[in-house]
Amino acid sequence: MRQTLLVTINTASKHQYSQQGGETACSGWSLLSSPVEYAQEAVKKGSTAVGIRGKDIVVLGVEKKSVAKLQEERTVRKICALDEHVCMAFAGLTADARIVINRARVECQSHRLTVEDPVTVEYITRYIATLKQRYTQSNGRRPFGISALIVGFDYDGTPRLYQTDPSGTYHAWKANAIGRSAKTVREFLEKNYTDEAIAGDNEAIKLAIKALLEVVQSGGKNIELAVIRRNQPLKILESKEIETLVAEIEKEKEEEAEKKKQKKST
Amino acid sequence: MALFDVSGFKDYSELRRQIHPGGKTHLVDRTNHYNFGAKTQEFAVPLGVDPSGFIKSCSRDGGVCIELNHGTTTLAFKFRHGVIVAVDSRASAGRYLASNDVNKVIEINPYLLGTMSGSAADCQYWERLLAKECRLYRLRNNHRISVAAASKLLSNMMLGYRGMGLSMGSMICGWDKEGPGLYYVDDNGTRLSGRMFSTGCGNSYAYGVVDSGYREDMTVEEAYELGRRGIAHATHRDAYSGGVVNMYHMQEDGWIKVCKEDVSELIHRYRKGMF
């Protein structure tokens, strides 16, 4: 009797995660041992997001899915502000993310009300992680199927980047990626995240774009980028600005290739 | 969910509703510590009991009259070199003197002090609870709680029991990243930030003395003397204040205990200059 019950629970979990999110196909799932693993699988099927911590700027970039012809482009938002100085991007089930973001926004204001100070990035990350953990250990609820990248500045001006995953753990990072091609992007970042690569604001933004261009299908059109500079609110870059930066990156690549050719020939 | 309905499993809240059919209980499970202990209450109020109604009936003329006096004098003021906190040490129960040697300052942590006036039990309990919350905050967040947040926690605790007969007038003093902080919190939920406060039934005498002698650019010694005088003169005229003056000085790197002097000796000293 017990054995069959377990199987029922597992297939039910699998069903819960694959029903949502439209983009995922049922056939990719195998029988896993816990609902948290199903949630992590759901995250791996979400679109890529990358976060970079610079010196005076923090950058979030996400892969924008190409929208259907009749769909309004602006309603699909994967980067959300939690407070004036903190924002997050997620990978995974969009509906789950909506709940988490809402709770985090309320907690940011509640903290301002009780403590009379804005939240630190670590505090709100810990809150989100605790929220996620509670759902992995309670009756009749399934874990949130999202990983989040949370960026911002603390009140003392330090930039921060944190990543949470469905099990409720969180870590601080200098740069990280989540979602579909996270591994590729992370390898790229490990090679290219140097002190000179993040020396200035523009350099950090270009690094984020370069990282996404590795995995995104058709270039600048499918990238959404947001930055927070110290003491300034969240700014979502317009597609024109992204196009300009992509063009600069292409030019730099060509110049690099030219230099290498010249070196070889001489 | 299908499994839920089939198994006949009952949610905890549903079970509780079966035991308490009317209204909700005030005592809630403390699952979320991020509300800083403000949303959940320490004591469940039993069903059918109305503390605020009972308290109102106690002050009726002709009815039973229970006087809840704040028998004390405490004072605190900010000046250039920090915050001075001075309190008396008398505890009275009506006309009976319970003790002349009570410590009315609670040392929450090396950077936070709380004074007590009003009902001794209420002050001690709630300020020790505040000390517990401050310690937990420090452990969870890796930095000390600010004076504003600590005073807000205390005032939220008081607001939860507003009208139910708590009696507490307290000053939360400290030094945090905003500089020296001084807040007055009382049992109505009042929370005021200010430069100078005095609480208790001897406060009018203390205000008179400190107001006339206060200057923002006082030296440290002058400030100590002002604090001593304020309490000494208040205890001289107010029957419910007396004992010793306990004085603390809140500096940038923490508080120090300045003195513990008997008020009768102080009055003798001042008298030599008086007559």
pLDDT in tens, A94-139: 999 999 999 999 999 999 999 999 999 999 999 999 999 998 888 8
Residue A16 in any domain: the answer is: no
Question: What is the CATH code of the structural domain delimited by B74-273?
Answer: 3.60.20.10
Q: Is A8 on the interface with B (CB under 8 A)?
A: yes
- Residue A112: give the domain boundaries: 31-66+76-254
Residue A113 in any domain: the answer is: yes
pLDDT in tens, A192-202: 999 888 888 99
Residue A236 in any domain: the answer is: yes
Q: What is the pLDDT of residue B160?
A: 86
3 state DSSP class of B261: strand
Q: What is the pLDDT of residue A75?
A: 60
Residue A141 in any domain: the answer is: yes
Q: What is the pLDDT of residue B137?
A: 93
Q: Is A114 on the interface with B (CB under 8 A)?
A: yes
Higher pLDDT, B258 or A66: B258
HSE-CB for B201 with a 13 A CA cutoff: 19
Q: What is the pLDDT of residue A197?
A: 85
Query: Considering only A36-40, A42-46, A137-141, B34-38, which range has the smallest mean pLDDT?
Result: B34-38
A13 has pLDDT over 80: no
Q: Is B146 on the interface with A (CB under 8 A)?
A: yes
Q: Please give, rounded to a whole number of angstroms, the shortest distance from the CA of A45 to a CA of chain B.
A: 25
Domain count for chain A: 1
Q: Is B156 on the interface with A (CB under 8 A)?
A: yes
Q: B38: which chain A residues are within 8 Å (Cβ-Cβ)? A: 114
- Alpha-carbon dihedral angle through residues B21, B22, B23, B29, given to the nearest 10 degrees: -30
From the list B3, B4, B149, which residue is nearest A114 (CB)?
B149
Q: For chain B, which residues make up each domain, given as ranges?
A: 74-273
Percent of chain A with pLDDT over 70: 88
Rounded to an integer, what distance in angstroms lies between the CA atom of residue A161 and that of residue A201? Answer: 16
B235 is catalytic: no
**Long-range pairs, A12-19, Cβ under 8 A, ≥24:** A12/B1, A12/B2, A12/B3, A13/A38, A13/A142, A14/A38, A16/A142, A17/A41, A17/A42, A17/A93, A17/A142, A17/A145
Residue of A9, A109, A115 to mutate, testing the B interface (most B Cβ within 10 Å of its Cβ): A115
Q: Are the CB atoms for A132 and A164 separated by under 8 Å?
A: yes
Higher pLDDT, B40 or A48: A48
pLDDT band at A226 (very low <50, low <70, confident <90, very high): very high
Residue A177 in any domain: the answer is: yes
Q: B14: which chain A residues are within 8 Å (Cβ-Cβ)? A: none
Q: Is A6 on the interface with B (CB under 8 A)?
A: no
Put simply, the answer to whether B156 touches A107 (Cβ < 8 Å) is: no
Put simply, the answer to whether A110 touches B35 (Cβ < 8 Å) is: yes
pLDDT band at A143 (very low <50, low <70, confident <90, very high): very high
Residue of B9, B31, B34, B35 to mutate, testing the A interface (most A Cβ within 10 Å of its Cβ): B34
Q: A140: which chain B residues are within 8 Å (Cβ-Cβ)? A: 1, 4, 9
Q: Is B36 on the interface with A (CB under 8 A)?
A: yes
Residue A199 in any domain: the answer is: yes
CATH classification of the domain holding A235: 3.60.20.10
Put simply, the answer to whether B3 touches A123 (Cβ < 8 Å) is: no
Q: A120: which chain B residues are within 8 Å (Cβ-Cβ)? A: 141
Q: Which of B25, B40, B72, B74 is catalytic?
A: B72
Q: To which residue do tokens 């809402």 refer?
A: A102
Rounded to an integer, what distance in angstroms lies between the CA atom of residue A201 and that of residue A225? Answer: 13
Residue A38 in any domain: the answer is: yes
Q: What is the pLDDT of residue B66?
A: 60
Q: Is A199 on the interface with B (CB under 8 A)?
A: no
Put simply, the answer to whether B149 touches A107 (Cβ < 8 Å) is: no
Give every CB contact of residue B196 below 8 A, 6+ residues apart in sequence: B75, B76, B77, B78, B182, B210, B211, B214
| DSSP state string for A139-182 | TT-----EEEEEEEE-TTS-EEEEEE-TTS-EEE-SEEEESTTH
Rounded to an integer, what distance in angstroms lies between the CA atom of residue B119 and that of residue A48? Answer: 60
Characterize the bridge pairing of strands B82-87 and B244-251. antiparallel
Put simply, the answer to whether B1 touches A114 (Cβ < 8 Å) is: no
Q: What is the pLDDT of residue A266?
A: 66
Q: What is the mean pLDDT of residues A191-220?
A: 88
From the list A115, A123, A140, which residue is nearest B1 (CB)?
A140
Residue A179 in any domain: the answer is: yes
- Kindly identify which residue of chain B lies nearest to residue A104, measuring between CA atoms: B34
Q: What is the pLDDT of residue A153?
A: 95
Q: Please give, rounded to a whole number of angstroms, the shortest distance from the CA of B37 to a CA of chain A.
A: 11
The pTM of this model reads: 0.81
Give me the residues of chain B with pLDDT under 70, please: 1-47, 58-70, 274-275
pLDDT band at A67 (very low <50, low <70, confident <90, very high): confident
